[in-house]
């Protein structure tokens, strides 16, 4: 992910577009919650301690990018790329 980001930034800069030099923090997101809903990691762990969930089919892995616009308000997400788990073509 870091090499891909470095290559993408280099291409964008070569086109004359100014970019913020921010660290890349790639991570898998399995769920999201609102900030302030729970005040500590221990409380979050206690809420999910007995959770087993339900089976669900996952058909694709999505690479998602988010932008906040620099101020308060919601983060906007968009699919960058998706790969099927069956080994087929990308969508």
What are the residue boundaries of the structural domains of the chain, listed by start?
Answer: 57-91
Q: Mean pLDDT, 10 residues at a time, over the chain (91 residues)?
A: 80 85 74 62 79 83 78 81 70 48
Is residue 83 packed enough to be buried (19+ CB in 10 Å), middle (13-18) or exposed (0-12)? middle
Q: What is the DSSP string of 19-31?
A: -----------S-
Output the pLDDT for position 36. 60
What gap in Å lies between CA 83 and CA 89, rounded to an integer? 7
Output the pLDDT for position 23. 82
26 Cβ contact list (under 8 Å, min separation 6)? 1, 2, 5
Output the pLDDT for position 34. 62
Cβ atoms of 61 and 83 closer than 8 Å: yes
């Amino acid at each position: 992910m870091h090499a891909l980001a470095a290559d993408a930034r280099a291409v964008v800069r070569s086109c004359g577009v100014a970019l913020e030099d921010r660290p890349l923090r790639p991570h898998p997101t399995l769920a999201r919650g609102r900030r302030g809903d729970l005040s500590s990691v221990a409380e979050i762990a206690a809420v999910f301690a007995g959770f087993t969930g339900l089976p669900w089919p996952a058909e694709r892995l999505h690479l998602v990018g988010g932008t906040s616009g620099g101020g308060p308000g919601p983060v906007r997400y968009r699919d960058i790329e998706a790969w099927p788990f069956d080994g087929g073509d990308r969508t």
